[in-house]
Amino acid sequence: MQIIPAIDIKNGKCVRLYQGDYDKETVYYDDPLLVARKWKKNGAKSIHVVDLDGAKIGKSQVVEIVKRIIEEVKIPVEVGGGMRDLSSVEKLLNIGVNRVILGTIAIEDPDLLKQLIDLYGERMIVSLDAKNGKLMKKGWLEKSNFNLIPTVKQLELMGVKTIIYTDTTRDGTLTEPNYESIKLLRIVTKMKLIVAGGISSTNQVKKLKDLKVDGVIIGKALYERNIDLKEVIKYVS
């Protein structure tokens, strides 16, 4: 199982939100590049970057920051937030982004999603951000009419290979992941499953490994030092 540290960027700074609420942010670092260096030094094999401003307005805002991170750390970087057209996705791929995370368009524009899958295959990841079983969109600011499990089945039929599941009610809370939903996802799909949201201890990461999760994205628990990145990587390797 892969441990993927997160860098969430808002107004050019490294922040964490509470349950995705843009009014409940904590700024941890002024320069996301410093965080990327830290994660690499502590053993990260890849980095998860979220463009919070891009997710909100629908247009990527972090291309130059991500380019600097890629050039500096030289490990795979995946990026999500605001990628809602072909040119936005291609711009990130052209600067060296390893995988692009698609959220809103997976719900609103299945034709574009299929086009991107056909063009770029496993370099496209779909992020499924759920609140009480309903998928959220546009930076978690709007609830869709789509349910989690039927959408997962449809995505698999379309050729998606990897999904990220986040329970938005737990993200940034340092409580625990939504194990019941994760167990159900592991049953209903053979796609690779990456989990985020609510992770607060190494024991929880071990439990996710036991559930056959393919990857875990850790954010606030690293910033608050509830989890040591070096140790958790050793623990699950």
Catalogue the active-site residues: 8, 129
The tens digit of pLDDT for each residue in 49-71 reads 999 999 988 888 999 999 999 99
CATH number where 172 lies: 3.20.20.70
The tens digit of pLDDT for each residue in 73-93 reads 999 999 999 898 999 999 999
In this structure, are residues 36 and 61 in contact, taking their beta carbons and an 8 Å threshold? no
The tens digit of pLDDT for each residue in 189-227 reads 999 999 999 999 999 999 999 999 999 999 999 999 999
Helix axes 229-236, 202-210, angle to 10 degrees: 30
Cβ-count burial of 74 within 10 angstroms (0-12 exposed, 13-18 middle, 19+ buried)? exposed
**Distance of alpha carbon 171 from the chain centroid:** 11
Residue entry with tokens 């990841």 = 125
The tens digit of pLDDT for each residue in 164-198 reads 999 999 998 999 999 999 999 999 999 999 999 99
Query: What is the predicted pLDDT for the residue at 140?
Result: 77
Q: With bands split at pLDDT 50, 70 and 90, how would you rate the model's confidence at 141?
A: confident
Structural domain span for residue 187? 2-236
Q: Is the pLDDT of residue 142 over 90?
A: no
Residue 134 tokens read as: 């309903």
pLDDT, average across residues 12-41:
95
Percent of the chain with pLDDT over 70: 100
Query: What is the predicted pLDDT for the residue at 143?
Result: 85
3-class DSSP state for residue 207? helix
In this structure, are residues 5 and 229 in contact, taking their beta carbons and an 8 Å threshold? yes
Number of domains in the chain: 1
- Looking at per-residue pLDDT, the higher value among 236 and 112 belongs to 112
